[in-house]
Amino acid sequence: DGGITQSPKYLFRKEGQNVTLSCEQNLNHDAMYWYRQDPGQGLRLIYYSQIVNDFQKGDIAEGYSVSREKKESFPLTVTSAQKNPTAFYLCASKGQANSNQPQHFGDGTRLSIL
Amino acid sequence: QQQVKQSPQSLIVQKGGISIINCAYENTAFDYFPWYQQFPGKGPALLIAIRPDVSEKKEGRFTISFNKSAKQFSLHIMDSQPGDSATYFCAASPDSNYQLIWGAGTKLIIKP
């Protein structure tokens, strides 16, 4: 079945450590997104990519980095510069960026600080 | 002006009752208004969406009501069931960039 796979489901970060969250889709979608979800704050956009080898900062990009070397993959790195990384991270994809097609979400990665 | 304000933050409804969640916006450039449903430990999924050229859209027990002049839209869940217990997000986007602006979410609990 087509969908979005996020891994790992749970991740723990030590102080000063960078960690990378995986997001893979087999929906042949052009656009991919990373959101951060905190209780009571809805979804906040970290980065998005409209097409391979292109990505743009969202509203809260500081302390995060991404790459989009393949259409299927959009990994997110949470760097040590992100001082409050504990959150639920969601990856999404959409057929075409410039459209009202629905966003399809993975089941998220919960990141915690050790 | 980019915000979408959602209320209430949480809602408890008896089984069989009507659940109502409200959202308001300021940006008149918004012209697509989806609702997403999220179960614990899962990502959100599109439930129903509306554009401002209609005042209401119904899909099964779920209805979006849209008031363009008041810049408000709401989700009504008729005959609410325990399986509807989830967090619901409203969102809005303009056709200029199709970027979704999300409400803060409503945690809905349906009591049996």
CA distance B48 to B89: 11
**Residue A1, pLDDT score:** 62
CA distance A110 to chain B (A): 9
How many angstroms separate the CA of residue A65 from the nearest CA in chain B? 20
Question: Given pLDDT bands bounded at 50, 70 and 90, which one contains residue A16?
Answer: confident
Res B70: pLDDT: 95
Q: Is B108 buried (19+), middle (13-18) or exposed (0-12) by CB count in 10 A?
A: buried
Which residues face A93 on adjacent strands?
A: A32, A104
Confidence at residue B30, expressed as pLDDT on a 0 to 100 scale:
93
Provide the residue type at A41 as one letter: Q
**The amino acid at A75:** P
Q: Are A88 and A108 in contact (CB under 8 A)?
A: yes
pLDDT tens for each residue of chain B, 112 residues long: 579 999 999 999 999 999 999 999 999 999 999 999 999 999 999 999 999 899 999 999 999 999 999 999 999 999 999 999 999 999 999 988 888 999 999 999 999 9
CA-wise closest residue to B75 among B90, B86, B54, B97 = B90
CA distance B5 to B40: 22
Task: Indicate which of B9, B33, B100, B101 best probes the interface with A, i.e. most A CBs within 10 Å of its own CB.
Answer: B100
Query: Per-residue pLDDT tens for A88-97?
Result: 999 999 999 8
